[in-house]
A and B are shown apart, each in its own frame.
Chain A
Amino acid sequence: MRFIPERFKHNGLFIVMFFITVMMIITVSITITWTTIRMSEQFFIKKFSITNYKVMSQVKESFESFNYSVVLASNNLLQSNTIKNILTHEQFSNKEKLSAYFNTGQQLKHVETNLDAYEESIQVMGRNGFSFATNRDYWPITDEELRTSILASNTFKEPKKLIYQLDKRNDGTNRRFIVASKVLMERINGTVYGSMYFAFEESEFRRFFTSYTGPGNNVFVVDKQGIIVSSNQSKLIGKKPEGLLSYAEKIEKSSDHYIIENFMGKDQIISMEYLPSFDMYLFNMIDKQKAVGDLIDKKDIVLISMAIVFVALIIVFLATRRLTNSLSSLVKQIEDASKHEFHQYVSSAGTYETMKIGNAFNSMLDELHLYVDQLVESQKQKRNAELAALQQQINPHFLYNTLTSIKFMVQQGGKEETEATINALISLLQNTIGNVSETNTISQEVDNLKNYALINQKRYGNRIKVNYFVAPDCLEYHVPKLILQPFMENSFFHGFNRKPGGYINVLVWQEKSTLICEVVDNGDGMEISSENKLPNTKRKQQMFSGIGVRNVHERIQLIYGEPFGVTISSELGEGTKVRVELPISSI
């Protein structure tokens, strides 16, 4: 996912989902459109072929009725005794010939009534050389030409059959004729006495089907050799395009009435009817592209599909965005949770799932807080218990020594001195052991210091003086018990080992919201190690209680937090300064 820029990181899910959906929508719409077009095409072709088959049947019928007219006409001629007599007549005088022409003309005029609906020329040729045509202008073939033509030889090959052939006139007009021909034969004894020809211009033939044709819809009448005899595509008449006959076979075998094949370079819907009386095939070819292409407005379909896809995309875009937005904002909030020390709750909005996740996360935070609080609380309690235990452990040596000192005072008879010392010890013990509360006011604490200092001065002499500078507005502030006593103790026992005497100053004041207490001596001083660790007291027997310099600092930090605590500065030979900082607000 490296290609997705940083700003899209939270939308990764959206992008993936959206693009997958887009791809799916497009794929589905293309598939459906394509399938629909194909199905409707096939449906249309099927229906179309059925109607077309009917049309072709109609065309076939007109061909058949045409053929029937020709059959009637040929029968009339066959049965005509006049014609027979004329064609079997051996020698004509001019007068006889004139009469023969007239009679033949009359006969043919009668025969022509069968073919009233069509324009044609009827020609009869006798074995005796007599020939007569009703309309030589229409079919301009000379007797000699006709006699030697393939038309005549084919006719005589099958004397009992009416056959149809294609004839092309090479007189410059290039007119094409469909010639129906039959031998004139005495059926009883098989004597052939002539032949008859019915010539129809190809256009006469064509009108049976031209009304059904159009651009892309062509009809071909094809003979057994595969030559196109008649068609609305006049250029192809007389040609022999490949494949036509094989199509005929295919269609005869196929269960439908049509096949789709390539012809003239285009896919065509081909249907075929066999014209038995003509021994020809009637082909109908429809340019598939033109027929079906017109049917389905592909542009419209594509436009509609595009519009649908477009609308779907907008909907998908908005919906996906809504779904993933809540999720990604949830993710963002969860990610930021650690920055706010798990105090920032996530907003549970959006869908059901994200709401549940948010809620779960929030309750997890709750649990976490609860647990942490409990932990802190138990830590605190543990500390307090420790402190209490330490508090209770008033060093017995302190008491022995003090009591021993008092005993000497009594022996020396210093009654008042003894009383003051005992009073100091009593109030000191009262304040430390007797008072169960954790904190003392500054004034109490200062009293403790004074009593402690008094006892020490009684025991060790007055070489160390103690001065108190307490700002009066600070007297009522509460501070943890025995936070200053360990430092004074420290000064008494370690600060004046070399120097013969000095003083200890206790200062208490406030700066803004901070209470500052300082215990300053002008004793030996000490070297402060780089770790700034407070020195450990080893001489336990001299300590007042279990509370040492070190654990004062820890206690303050535990109660008030990181920024507060004890700082010690000292110089060898100059003295030591201990500074305790406490917040006023929480006192």
Chain B
Amino acid sequence: MKKVLALFLVSILMLTACSSGSNKDTSDKGKDTKEVTVWAWDPNFNIKAMNLAKEAYKSENPDVNIKVIEHAQDDIIQKLNTSLSSGTTKGLPNIVLIEDYRAQSFLKAYPDMFHELTSSFKAADFAQYKIAPTSLDGKNYGLPFDTGVTGLYVRTDYLEKAGYKVADLQNMDWNKYIEVGKKVKEATGKSMLTQDPKDLGLIRMMIQTSGSWYLKNDGVTPDIAGNAALKDAFQTYKAILDADLVKPVSDWGQFVAGFNSGDVATVPTGNWITPSIKAEASQAGKWAVLPMPKQSGIANSVNASNLGGSSWYVLNIDGKEKAADFLGKTFGSNADFYQTLNKEMGAIGTYKPASEGEAYKAADDFFGGQKVVSDFAAWTEKIPQVNYGMHTYAIEDILAVSMQDYLKGKDLDKVLEDAQKQAEEQIK
């Protein structure tokens, strides 16, 4: 009896012992301090360029892990604003891409949140017009990245039908452009350019040729009423519309479709459109790039301007030295890297020594053998330097409405005065 019982008890004990589970070990991943995170938008351009830089940096310092994260530009702006205004830097990247038009508003609002890059690169090596928006109080904060140098992309076949040769149209002004446009329309029935009514990029390009902007040089005071360049630009804009040279579009897709389908004869815009133009391979050899037309009524206007473009900024958080070193050794001083950038993706930087490189001097068959990159590089150096200030887009929204008023027949001086008042009220 006792033996049976003992067996019974032992078996119960065994069962209890067996059923106790085993705990799993959980190990936390230690944070990699050698990681440098980068935020940027546009996977085909900015992200791609950063990934190339990452490759180039590997030979310099293989230990640092560059992590490139894509966000929409609006998201980056929103995240930066929320984090920086609340004073927290948690979750922010080491490096962030900021559009030149918006750079000043960030630098002025949060000057201590950005890491000074003055010592990381030679400012003199970069196109002069890029330095003003990327620096504050004489200190460099942004490392200039792509240039927004503009050109006038033209369909040589249409121009020839209207009796023009590319050589005849170098360094023309907007009056000449309208004259050409009318002839082209006559000869081919094609419009000269597309326009999206809410985007005043054309106006911006025009006034920068004269070294003028929506804001005065202090970057704060609106410069609308009494701005001769702006007034001239408005007049030119209306003249172009009156000559019926414009094909209206409402978004980017329609804009690209406009030239890809051969509906327009010219595209006045930044050099970054090159890949989009070349995307339509059937038009190879039918394109050329002319210098930007200058303003007719403004004496100091030059045949070079800028549209868009952005620069890299290092945030004042842990790992800033590594981030600054990374930027300095790639975008800041590596001429070969710029050749790679150009070859791989057609990007043109603002680093002057890079223009000596092979890739920059290569002839492009799509543009009839024109040395497009070299030309852009040359124009880059001529771009007048302006202070984009803090409120470019705010003022543009006002001006877009003013433009419609003007087009409907309102007196131009009055239009600009009203806009000036509105801008002053809004910006204050």
B247 at the interface (CB under 8 A from A): yes
> How far is A279 from B346 in the complex, measured between Cα atoms in Å?
51
Q: Is the CB of A136 within 8 A of B248?
A: no
Among the listed stretches A44-52, A90-98, A377-385, which one makes contact with chain B, having 4 or more residues with CB under 8 Å of it?
A: A90-98
- Chain A residues near B197: list those with CB within 8 A: 98-99, 101-102, 105
The answer to whether B19 touches A94, judged by C-beta atoms less than 8 angstroms apart, is no
A137 within 8 A of B: yes
Q: List B153-206 residues whose CB lies under 8 Å from chain A.
A: 191, 195-198
CA distance A102 to B396 in the complex (A): 13
Q: Does A30 contact B (CB under 8 A)?
A: no
- CB-CB under 8 A for A93 and B16, given A15-B1, A102-B197: no
A310 touches B (CB below 8 Å): yes
> Which positions 77-136 of chain A face chain B at CB distance < 8 Å?
93-95, 97-106, 132-133, 136
Partner of A102, one of B21, B198, B242, B244: B198
> Which B residues touch A95, using CB under 8 A?
241-242, 244, 246, 407
Question: Pick the contact of B1 from A8, A103, A133, A140 — CB < 8 Å?
Answer: A8
Q: Is A317 an interface residue (CB 8 A)?
A: yes
Contact of B60 with A by CB under 8 A:
no
Q: What is the bound-complex CA distance between A106 and B244, given in angstroms?
A: 23
Given contacts A94-B244, A101-B250, contact A303 B198 (CB under 8 A): no
Q: A99-B197, A102-B400 are in contact. Are A136 and B5 (CB under 8 A)?
A: no
With most chain B CB atoms within 10 A of its CB, the pick from A99, A103, A137 is A99
* Docked complex Cα distance between A14 and B4 (Å): 14
- Asked if A99 and B404 sit within 8 Å, CB to CB, the answer is yes
The answer, yes or no, to whether A20 is at the interface (CB within 8 Å) is: no
Contact across chains for A133 and B251 when beta carbons are under 8 A apart: yes
A-side contacts of B1, CB under 8 Å: 8, 11, 14-15
Residues of chain B with a CB closer than 8 A to A136's CB: 251-253
Q: Which of A94, A102, A137, A140 contacts B247 (CB under 8 A)?
A: A94
A98 engages B253 (CB within 8 Å): no
Residue of A nearest to B198 (CB): A105
Whole-angstrom distance between the Cβ of B178 and the nearest chain A Cβ: 15
Q: Which residue of B lies closest to A132 (CB)?
A: B250
* Count class of interface residues, chain A: 20 to 34
Which of A99, A140, A303 is the one whose CB lies under 8 Å from B407? A99
How distant is B408 from chain A, measured CB to nearest CB, in Å?
A: 8
Residues of B within 8 A of A307 (CB): 16
Number of interface residues of B (CB under 8 A): 29
**A306 contacts the other chain (Cβ, under 8 Å)?**
yes
State the Cβ distance, B192 to closest chain A Cβ, in Å: 11
Contact between A303 and B19 (Cβ–Cβ < 8 Å)? yes
Complex: A11 Cα to B5 Cα, angstroms: 14
B-chain residues with CB within 8 Å of residue A105 when the two chains form the complex:
197-198, 250
Closest-by-CB residue of B relative to A309 is: B12
Contact B253 A101 (CB under 8 A): no
Q: Which residues of B contact A302 (CB under 8 A)?
A: 19
CB-defined contacts of A100 to chain B, threshold 8 Å? 248
Per the bound structure, the CA–CA distance linking A306 and B9 in Å amounts to 11
Cα–Cα distance between A234 and B97 once the two chains are bound (Å): 32
Residues of B within 8 A of A137 (CB): 251-253
A224 within 8 A of B: no
**A299 contacts the other chain (Cβ, under 8 Å)?**
yes
Decide yes or no whether B15 CB sits under 8 A from chain A: yes
Closest Cβ of chain B to A8, distance in Å, is 7
**A36 to chain B: closest CB distance in Å?**
19
Complex interface bits, B404-428 against A, C-beta within 8 A gives 1, otherwise 0: 1001100000000000000000000
Set of chain A residues within 8 Å of B248, measured between Cβ atoms:
94, 97-98, 100-101
The proximity string for A residues 282-315 relative to B, scoring 1 for CB distances below 8 Å and 0 otherwise, is: 0000000000000000010011001100100000
The contact string, 1 if C-beta is below 8 Å from chain B, for chain A 311-333, is: 00000010000000000000000
Q: Shortest distance in angstroms between A18's beta carbon and chain B's nearest beta carbon? A: 9
Would you give the shortest CB distance from B77 to chain A, in whole angstroms? 15
Contact assessment for B404 and A299 in the assembled complex, using a CB-CB cutoff below 8 Å: no
> Which A residues touch B16, using CB under 8 A?
303, 306-307
Chain A hits for B250, CB < 8 A: 101, 104-105, 132-133
Interface residues of A in 134-154 (CB under 8 A from B): 136-137, 140
Residues from chain B with a CB closer than 8 A to the CB of A306 are 12, 15-16
- Contact bitstring B87-115, A, C-beta under 8 A = 1, else 0: 00000000000000000000000000000
Docked CA distance A418–B5 (Å): 96
Within 8 A of B (CB), among A402-420: none
A379 CB to closest chain B CB, in angstroms?
49
Q: Tell me the bound Cα distance from A41 to B150 in angstroms.
A: 71
Quote the shortest CB–CB distance from B43 to chain A (angstroms): 12
Bits for B1-35, please: 1 = Cβ < 8 Å to A, else 0. Answer: 10001000100100110010100000000000000
Complex contacts, B253 vs chain A, CB 8 Å: 136-137, 140
Known: A8-B1, A101-B250. 16 other contacts (CB 8 A): A11-B1, A94-B246, A94-B248, A95-B242, A99-B197, A101-B249, A103-B404, A106-B401, A133-B251, A136-B252, A137-B251, A140-B253, A302-B19, A303-B16, A306-B16, A317-B5
The interface of chain B, by Cβ under 8 A from chain A, is: 1, 5, 9, 12, 15-16, 19, 21, 191, 195-198, 241-242, 244, 246-253, 400-401, 404, 407-408
Could you pull out 24 A-B pairs where Cβ atoms are within 8 angstroms? A11-B1, A94-B247, A95-B407, A97-B248, A98-B197, A99-B407, A101-B248, A101-B250, A102-B197, A102-B400, A102-B404, A103-B404, A105-B197, A105-B198, A105-B250, A106-B198, A137-B251, A140-B253, A299-B21, A303-B16, A306-B12, A306-B16, A307-B16, A317-B5
When A and B form their complex, which 4 residue pairs have the shortest distance between CB atoms, in order from nearest?
Answer: A102-B197, A98-B248, A97-B248, A101-B250
